[in-house]
Each structure stands twice: as structure tokens, then as C-alpha cells.
């Protein structure tokens, strides 16, 4: 089990040293999040072993080290109470509100948090969209961990919303190109932004990629091996095969027409061809979609950007996956300030609010 993070030690008098904490991950399903239902506008994706509370404790332990917040201990009276406000420094989609509440509760369950927005809502530059009241020590200790989660999640949600809108009628998916240890958090942000989740990991979907195909000796051999494995182990789950040419698409279709198969989706990889001046050629992708003709789900991958996703979405493909949603996300600028008037003055001076 997880070792509880004893945060009262972070507000001990300066003479007391905080103990060293070691956080271990445990096999607790993510449905046991401990988040208030009112805050949980979009539920986190399910995972059989991911412990969201453990991730929060690890982030807090990373900050506290073996002494706790020495600056707080040195400068802030233990019993002082304050109110701090969340301030948006740029426009975007807010994400991580429910997770922020988990962090505050883990640090100090007496903190009171109120929001004027919920996960998935639009926020604009200069907006105060939430506040937290309680012990100053606890708020400052939680501040950076809360903001690190919220800024990353909001950046992912903002880009996902833009790409999901542009991709319509296709659905936008992320990939496994997530920050190590933060996969569930990253994928949660995609859901908040209006996207859908691809497989969570290696365990919940068979995905036959190029290296599997090369080792197996071709698409047919790989599909046959997967069907035999699933049948012999009495496993039922989605199966996707990556194809890179129209010949591989036809090979997958020929196999499926002659055999009982668990194949559910065909990935059409790098069939979007970049052209000069930022345009793309989707001829090959459209031809592949027409060949499949609704017999299986289709997914486009490769050369997917905010500029190209609309044209890709008009080809008839069902899903579009983009690693950029999570692997190179730009965090949304958000701050948590006790003196909001001074913060706004500085923001105006620096053109960040």
C-alpha cells in the first residue's frame, strides 16, 4: 500500500526536521480517485494498476525532500491563513481542476477550494477562475505541484480541443508518447479537451506495428499469430494492424476475408504526403479508406498537425492519432497568487495577463 504523506510535518516549527518519505506505487484501480463528484466533470481513464494518489504523493515528496519547505518554515507563521486566486495568463481550455483538489486535500484536508470554471471550460487571459483558502503554509507547499499538473493538462486539453474541432467528423486520439509516469494524467487531459483515448498501454489492445510485422515476416503472418494467441489464451480484445502501403492494406483485407480474425482496426501510417508550402496530399489515404470500405475501423497516423488535421479528417477516415498532443505539449500559463492586484499589475507590465 501507499505510505501516506504526513503533511503536518511541513508546517512544524523551524527547529523540527521533516522525515524522509518513500512513495511506492500500488495496484489500485483509478476508479478510486477520492475526487468529489461535483469536481469530476470528466472521469480519468481506467487503468488496472495506476495509482493516481501515489503519483500526487510522489510529486509532493519530490518537492519536500527530507526537510520540507524550508522557506515557508523560515518566513510564514504556522497559524497564518490566506486566500489565493488562480489567474489565467493566456486563453485556453482549463484542465486539472479535479486533480488540483486531490493535491490540496493530500496536503491539507482543511483547505477550502472554490471554482468558477470546471474542467473543459474555456478560460481567457486575465480571468480569476478559482480560489483556495486556508493555512498559508499548506497553500504554498501545494502551489507548484498543483500548477505543474494544471498547466500541462491545460496545454494538452487546449491543443486537443483545437485538433478535435478541426478533425471532425473524424475523432482525434493521442498515442503512448506521454511523459513517463504521467500517462493517465496526459490521457485524462485529452478526454477533457474533447479527444478520445487510444490504448492505455501494452496490455489493453493488440497493436501490430511495423517491427512486429518485420519480425513475423509480413502482415498475414502477424495477424495469423495474433489470432492463434488470442484464441489459445481465451482473450478477447481489439486488434489493430499498422499498414504502410496499399499492398499491406490489401494483404490485411485478403487475410480477413479468408480467416476468422479478431482484427478490428487498420492503421494507415504515413499515407499523408507532405507537399511544399505546408500542404498535404491525401490521395493515398483516401484510396486506402475506400479499399477498406467500412469493413474495419480506420486510423490515420503521421504528418498530423493542427494545420493538416482538417484535410485528413475529410478523407472518411474514422480516427486520427497524433503524438504531438502529449509529447511536445506547450503548457498553458496559469498562476496562483495571494496578492492578485500586484500580480495583475506585473502581468500587465510583462504583457502576460
Q: Which are the catalytic amino acids?
A: 144, 177, 209, 240, 269
Q: Which helix (H) or strand (E) holds 337?
A: strand 334-337
Alpha-carbon dihedral sign for residues 258, 262, 264, 265:
negative
SS3 296: coil
**Would you call 331 exposed, middle or buried from its count of C-beta atoms within 10 A (0-12, 13-18, 19+)?**
middle
User: Residue 27, class by beta-carbon neighbours within 10 Å (0-12 exposed, 13-18 middle, 19+ buried)?
Assistant: exposed
Contact 66, 308 (CB under 8 A): no
Helix (H) or strand (E) holding 155: helix 136-167
Nearest C-alpha neighbor of 173 from the set 155, 152, 199? 199
3-state secondary structure of 107: helix
Q: Is the dihedral of CA 7, 8, 11, 12 positive or negative?
A: negative
Question: Which residues lie below 8 Å from residue 132, measured CB to CB, with a gap of 6+?
Answer: 83, 84, 86, 104, 111, 112, 113, 114, 139, 336
The set of residues, in sequence order, having a beta carbon less than 8 Å from that of 352 and lying 6+ positions away, is: 89, 90, 333
Amino acid at each position: 500500500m501507499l505510505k501516506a504523506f504526513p503533511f503536518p510535518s511541513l508546517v512544524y516549527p523551524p527547529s523540527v526536521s521533516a522525515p524522509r518519505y518513500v512513495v511506492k506505487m500500488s495496484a489500485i484501480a483509478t476508479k478510486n480517485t477520492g475526487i468529489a463528484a461535483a469536481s469530476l466533470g470528466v472521469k480519468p481513464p481506467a487503468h488496472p494498476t495506476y495509482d493516481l494518489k501515489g503519483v500526487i504523493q510522489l510529486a509532493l515528496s519530490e518537492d519536500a525532500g527530507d526537510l520540507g519547505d524550508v522557506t515557508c518554515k523560515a518566513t510564514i507563521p504556522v497559524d497564518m491563513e490566506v486566500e489565493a486566486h488562480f489567474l489565467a495568463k493566456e486563453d485556453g481550455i482549463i484542465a486539472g481542476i479535479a486533480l488540483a483538489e486531490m493535491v490540496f486535500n493530500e496536503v491539507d484536508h482543511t483547505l477550502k477550494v472554490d471554482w468558477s470554471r470546471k474542467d473543459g471550460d474555456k478560460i481567457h487571459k486575465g480571468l480569476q477562475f478559482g480560489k483556495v483558502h486556508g493555512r498559508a503554509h499548506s497553500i504554498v507547499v501545494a502551489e507548484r505541484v498543483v500548477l505543474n499538473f494544471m498547466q500541462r493538462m491545460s496545454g494538452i486539453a487546449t491543443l486537443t480541443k483545437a485538433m478535435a474541432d478541426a478533425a471532425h467528423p473524424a475523432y482525434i486520439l493521442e498515442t503512448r508518447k506521454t511523459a513517463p509516469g504521467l500517462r493517465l494524467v496526459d490521457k485524462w487531459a485529452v478526454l477533457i479537451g474533447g479527444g478520445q483515448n487510444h490504448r492505455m498501454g501494452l496490455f489493453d489492445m493488440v497493436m501490430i506495428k511495423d517491427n512486429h510485422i518485420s519480425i513475423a515476416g509480413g502482415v498475414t503472418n502477424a495477424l495469423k499469430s495474433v489470432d492463434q494467441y488470442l484464441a489459445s489464451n481465451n482473450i478477447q480484445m481489439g486488434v489493430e494492424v499498422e499498414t504502410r502501403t496499399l499492398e499491406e492494406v490489401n494483404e490485411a483485407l485478403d487475410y480477413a476475408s479468408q480467416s476468422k480474425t479478431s482484427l478490428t482496426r487498420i492503421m494507415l501510417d504515413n499515407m499523408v504526403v507532405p507537399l511544399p508550402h505546408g500542404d498535404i496530399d491525401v490521395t493515398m489515404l483516401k484510396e486506402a479508406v475506400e479499399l477498406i470500405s467500412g469493413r474495419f475501423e480506420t486510423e490515420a497516423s503521421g504528418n498530423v498537425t493542427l494545420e493538416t488535421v482538417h484535410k485528413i479528417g475529410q478523407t472518411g477516415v474514422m480516427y486520427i492519432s497524433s503524438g504531438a498532443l502529449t509529447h511536445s505539449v506547450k503548457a498553458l500559463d496559469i498562476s496562483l497568487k495571494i496578492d492578485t492586484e500586484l500580480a495583475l499589475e506585473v502581468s500587465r507590465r510583462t504583457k502576460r495577463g
